[in-house]
Amino acid sequence: MASLKRIGILTGGGDCPGLNAVIRAVAKAALGGGLEVLGIEDGYLGLIENRLRVLENKDVSGILTVGGTILGASNKANPADYAVPTGDGKWVKRDVRDQVVKHCNAARLDALVVIGGDGTMGGAVDLIARGLNIIGVPKTIDNDLWATDITFGHHTAVTTAADALDKVHTTASSHHRVMVVELMGRYAGWIALHAGLASGADVILIPEIPFRLEHIAGKCLKRHKVGKGFTIVAAAEGAVPVGGKQFVDRVDPTSPDPIRLGGVGRYVAEEVEKTTGLESRSIVLGHIQRGGSPTPYDRILATQFGYHAFRLLVAGQFGRMVVQRGGRIDSVPIAEVAGKVRTVPTDHLLIEAARALGTSFGDRPA
């Protein structure tokens, strides 16, 4: 603790309910321990552009229940591959990691607390190799970060998604429709699995289990024949048909992760209607899943993560990321996490339970 005088906090990647709770926990614990705290604006972009500001207790009070992040975030600022406009409508990628280190040293930062997902942790590994002291805190609504059983923000996103599916249920029943709700999750199906199961969705489509349209259509027709005139489909944005590819909405050349998934919900709804004659609609829930006040569960988890990050700082255990495993808060080397995605095991007990209750994953006949 004696060697630490000033720390920085940044929130990288997309926004997520619970980020402010982590900032609050780290900052209040550090300030209470006599440290100076700087907030880095807009994730790594703030380090690239040298935008840092002092955080005091008044800045981090009253933010526990507030969604988003008071520091701002950016998912387009990988220091190793930073997109810079050329002036002719094009972009060129540059390595600005040495510039980031220079700004950290100029600000006299003894350590950084980096809050983010796999991309943010990958950037942290690069900076650790250049001599920066970093503690990682896992953040993603997708729950797809390696080595931790859960990430804060996921519970809130699932709550939002399940609430939307519940509301769709009543309108689907009233109009006797097939309703396909496309949910976030990128390349992992955790949100769709959890929200779909919680809302009693009839079909759940996740990236880990490729689907066949004829099986989805068969499920809808089977329900129709027994007098259930509607079907609810929870579709992860990364869901893919057997032998096909994931649906890409657009490509963003300025982003380190340029692929933006989207379109599977509309595809499934249109094809089911063509195949069965049943009226079908699709809904993209989108960024609503990222917003709003974090649930009490996420507030508590984020606070635990933030406090444990502070404890790692005090102990000088740099280069590690806070995790929860087996119900206990722990830490692992950040290098073990970067670049890995935690997907849903196809033999997961929740999948087994859902199948036993009659839920289709689109991979088997109804």
Find all residues with CB under 8 Å of 244, minimum gap 6, and list them.
Answer: 210
**Burial group, residue 274, by CB count within 10 angstroms (0-12, 13-18, 19+):** exposed
% helix, strand, coil for the chain, step of 5 = 40, 20, 40
> Is 142 designated active site?
yes
d(CA 284, CA 192): 12
* Residues in the chain, overall count: 366
**Burial group, residue 62, by CB count within 10 angstroms (0-12, 13-18, 19+):** exposed
Cα separations in angstroms, 216 against 198, 238, 248, 258? 20, 17, 21, 30
Cα separations in angstroms, 16 against 115, 172, 181, 234? 10, 30, 21, 21
52 within 8 A of 10, measured Cβ to Cβ: no
Shortest CA distance to 200 belongs to which of 179, 221, 218, 224? Answer: 179
Shortest CA distance to 151 belongs to which of 58, 6, 54, 290? Answer: 290
d(CA 233, CA 235): 6
Q: Are strands 231-236 and 91-94 parallel, antiparallel or unpaired?
A: unpaired
Cα separations in angstroms, 273 against 221, 335, 365? 11, 47, 18
User: For 149, which DSSP code?
Assistant: S
**Burial group, residue 206, by CB count within 10 angstroms (0-12, 13-18, 19+):** buried
Token pair 């495993």: residue: 325
Catalytic residue among 15, 42, 142, 298: 142
Q: Catalytic positions, please?
A: 142
